[in-house]
């Protein structure tokens, strides 16, 4: 058919082997405050660590930073758990969100990360107006 060489076309099924597709490192924030680290991020920094420290930039509260560490860091770190069936790594950050007056439901989505030195950084799309007003009063 009009010059198409069908012997050079390679077909594949994205649906059948979609787990093998490499994605950009990302963190999913659920409405319940669970942080799930995707496979790409897990392979880069999560897999050799059992805990994560979570912090917030004082100048820009939409910036959340994660530092993955092998131990508990004097009770300041969140334990990373693994779902064996899917090999997914996650932690509950609900106490962090409550302490920072952030409603996880309002920021729930998957965020691509930026990796700088030993920090993994996400930038939240938005924060509630009440939270930003509290920061201005401090």
Query: 64-123: per-residue pLDDT in tens?
Result: 999 999 998 788 999 999 988 877 899 999 999 999 989 999 999 999 999 998 899 999
Within a domain: 5: no
pLDDT score of 50 more than 60: yes
Within a domain: 1: no
Split into its structural domains, the chain has a count of 1
Mean pLDDT of the chain: 82
pLDDT given for residue 21 in this prediction: 55
Within a domain: 82: yes
- First and final CA of the chain: distance in angstroms? 72
**Structure tokens, 35:** 């942080």
**46-85 in b/e burial notation, b at 16+ Cβ within 10 A?**
beeeebbbbeeeeeebeebbbbbbeeeeeeebbebeeeee
**Structure tokens, 117:** 């030195």
What percent of the chain shows pLDDT beyond 90? 54
Which residues constitute the domain of residue 53? Answer: 22-137
pLDDT score of 53 more than 70: yes
Within a domain: 8: no
pLDDT given for residue 111 in this prediction: 95
Within a domain: 6: no
Within a domain: 16: no
Highest mean pLDDT among 15-19, 52-56, 71-75 belongs to 52-56
Within a domain: 17: no
**57: left (phi > 0), else alpha (psi -120 to 50), else beta?**
beta
**117: left (phi > 0), else alpha (psi -120 to 50), else beta?**
left
Within a domain: 2: no
Please report, to the nearest 10 degrees, the dihedral formed by the alpha carbons of residues 79, 34, 101, 108 taken in order: 150
pLDDT given for residue 86 in this prediction: 75
**Closest by CA position to 47, among listed 18, 77, 88, 76:** 88
Calculate mean pLDDT across residues 22-34. 90
**Closest by CA position to 33, among listed 49, 57, 54:** 54
């Amino acid at each position: 058919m009009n010059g198409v060489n069908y012997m050079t076309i390679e077909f594949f099924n994205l649906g059948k082997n979609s787990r093998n597709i490499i994605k950009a490192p990302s963190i999913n924030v659920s409405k319940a405050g669970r942080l799930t680290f995707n496979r790409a991020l897990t392979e880069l920094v999560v897999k050799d660590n059992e805990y994560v420290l979570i912090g917030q930039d004082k100048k820009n509260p939409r910036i959340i930073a994660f530092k993955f560490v092998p131990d508990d860091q004097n009770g300041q770190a969140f334990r990373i758990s693994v779902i064996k069936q899917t090999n997914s790594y996650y932690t509950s950050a609900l106490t962090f969100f409550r302490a920072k007056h952030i409603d996880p439901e309002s920021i729930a989505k998957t965020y691509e990360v930026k990796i700088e030195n030993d920090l993994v950084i996400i930038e939240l799309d938005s924060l509630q107006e009440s939270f930003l007003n509290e920061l201005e009063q401090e």
